[in-house]
Amino acid sequence: MSNTMLAVVKEKAAPGVVIKQIPIPRPNKGELLIKVKNASICGTDIGIYDWSDWAAGHITPPIVIGHEVVGEVIEINATEPTNIKIGDFVSSETHIFCGYCYQCKIGNLHVCENMELFGIGRNGGFAQYATIPVRTSWKNDTSIPLEAMSVQEPLGNAVHVVNKASVMGKKVLVVGLGPTGLCAAAAAQALGASEVIAVDPVVYRQKLAKKFADIQTISKLDPKMYNSFDAVLEMSGHPAGIQSAFDAVRIAGTIIAFGIPKSEISVNWGKYLINKELTIHSVFGRRIWETWYQTTQLLQSGKIDLTKIITHTYNLADFEEAMSVMKSGECGKILLEIA
């Protein structure tokens, strides 16, 4: 093992990244060293690349980016009991919880009050090696396909969304068919929705939805569909998408807010909220570790096949090209094969 590794580094507080050799990190107490096998690119990574306001507010360069990651454990510097062993393939949970704040203590680890973010607030995994805390490492069952392991992160978001909507027996609208929206539609089908319809104007995504999980899609919400969905999963973060959610949901129905708009949203509070007596649940991340057990089950049972959502695969050295396809929107999930 050499002393250096290839990594995608945000070097400056400005657009772009540098792909370069840097020293292989050492695991601190309570951390694992992993040899990264695969990583996948998240929508958030576009903002980080382009140096969005959000990125500027969360990142202090230089930092290795990338948070959807699976790697083989090659060193364990554990201090607490764990079932993880050398040679295990672990996925990283992005949200590094403190373990002792109020939310952590009552079991809401995913909304820790002192959250640190992997690949954002500390070095991530678009690299040949990475260190991750033992407490945010998920030991993958060997039955899970390697290509799916890093993509469990966004699938987990989707499953958490679908759980919050309690879709069982419900007619569900999914707004937005990015990778997490695709996963949400597939998970809603797998978890007992009576009917799932997804809306997205992009034809490429509609076709991918069909191929991925035989999802019924529309380009636009017809006013005839207003007030007819028991649950709407808002995955787009677009103002028009949020408006569609309010229109589509039926009286006494549920909206899940997952997509994050770039600016404030204007809401007709009286007409939509009050008159319809709605429930809105917003969703952040995924439950640690309930959701991961559920993603495992969905993958093992074959009810969801994440390999069908991966449309492009690149070497780490070709990250710039991968990012360029990512930004085109003509893609599903993009995988970086690292080792």
CA distance 200 to 195: 17
- 28 touching its own copies, by CB under 8 A: no
Does residue 229 belong to the site contacting its own copies (CB under 8 A)? no
Closer to its own copies by CB, 80 or 328: give it: 80
Stretch that binds its own copies, among 147-155, 266-274, 305-313, 326-334 (CB under 8 A): 266-274
63 near its own copies, rule: CB under 8 A: no
**Measured distance CA(169)–CA(300) in Å, rounded:** 23
- Report the SS3 class of residue 149: helix
Interface characters, 70-109, with its own copies (x: CB under 8 A): ---------xxxxx--------------xxx-xx-xxxxx
Q: Which phi and psi (to 5°) does residue 178 adopt? A: -65, 180
Would you say how long the chain is, in residues? 339
Instruction: Based on the shown chain and the rule CB under 8 A, indicate whether residue 298 belongs to the binding site for its own copies.
Output: yes
Number of residues counted as binding its own copies (CB under 8 A): 67
Q: How far is residue 146's CA from residue 88's CA, in Å, rounded to a whole number?
A: 12
Paired with 337 in beta bridges are 38, 315
Residue 56 in contact with its own copies, rule: CB under 8 A? no
Residue linked to tokens 């060997």 = 142
Separation of alpha carbons 297 and 287, rounded Å: 15
Restricted to residues 163-182, the positions that interact with its own copies (CB under 8 A) are 163, 166-169
**Does 59 participate in binding its own copies (rule CB under 8 A)?**
no
CA distance 207 to 195: 19
Per rule CB under 8 A, is residue 242 in the interface with its own copies?
yes
Question: Of 83 and 328, which CB lies nearer to its own copies in the complex structure?
Answer: 83
Q: What minimum distance in Å lies between the beta carbon of 100 and its own copies?
A: 5
What is the smallest separation between the CB atom of 267 and its own copies, expressed in angstroms?
5
Name residues contacting its own copies, limited to 195-214 (CB under 8 A).
Answer: 195
Task: Tell me the closest approach of the beta carbon of residue 17 to its own copies, in angstroms.
Answer: 24
> How many Cα atoms are found within 13 Å in the side-chain-facing hemisphere of 187?
32
Residue 226 interacting with its own copies (CB under 8 A) = no
Token reading at 42: 């998240």
Distance between CA atoms of residues 30 and 105, nearest Å: 19
Q: Which of 178, 174, 131, 123 is nearest to 154 (CA)?
A: 178
By the criterion CB under 8 A, which residues form the site for its own copies? Answer: 29-30, 79-83, 98-100, 102-103, 105-111, 113, 163, 166-169, 190-195, 237, 242, 251-252, 257-258, 260-261, 264-270, 273-284, 287, 289-290, 293-294, 297-298, 301, 303
